[in-house]
Amino acid sequence: MLKGISPRLNADVLHALASMGHGDMLVVVDTNFPAESIAQQTMLGHLLRIDNVSAAEAVEALLSLMPLDTFVDDAATRMEVVGAPEDVPKVQHEVQAAIDRAEGKHWPLVPVERYAFYERAKEAYCVIQTGERRFYGCFTLTKGVIPPETE
């Protein structure tokens, strides 16, 4: 246990977060996502896990340490529902609320079509699979910067 760091973040995830740079993207996925095969194609090259938590709990823990990128419009995305791209499932509402709390303002999740999401995920730094069992619990988050403290 480390003071001030969510116990949901294990050593492998903490190392990945620390290794990522500005503009690097991570993928948070549910248990149905083809996580292992996609993760092998990422920069890290292997799957990370935050087991036994929902997607929203994982995102909350990740964003307690990682700022979102303010230089891009799609720093936070969600997988669209197949056949109903305008639908926003409860799991996605919960993640949206976690993002808004972490950023201190509304930060809209940008929808991404399912197969485009898979391709986007392959270009990520890493994939983190959660214990989320609800469908469409899949998101990308792009790392921003922490400004220097003023003197």
Residues taking part in catalysis = 22, 69, 118
Neighbours of 58 (CB within 10 A): 28
**Beta bridge mates, 22:** none
Residue with tokens 């248990």: 31
Q: Are 112 and 15 in contact (CB under 8 A)?
A: no
Selection from 151, 120, 145, 142 nearest residue 33 by Cα: 120
Could you tell me if 20 and 125 are in contact, meaning their C-beta atoms sit under 8 angstroms apart?
yes
Question: Count of CB atoms within 10 A of residue 94's CB?
Answer: 19
Contact 128, 49 (CB under 8 A): yes
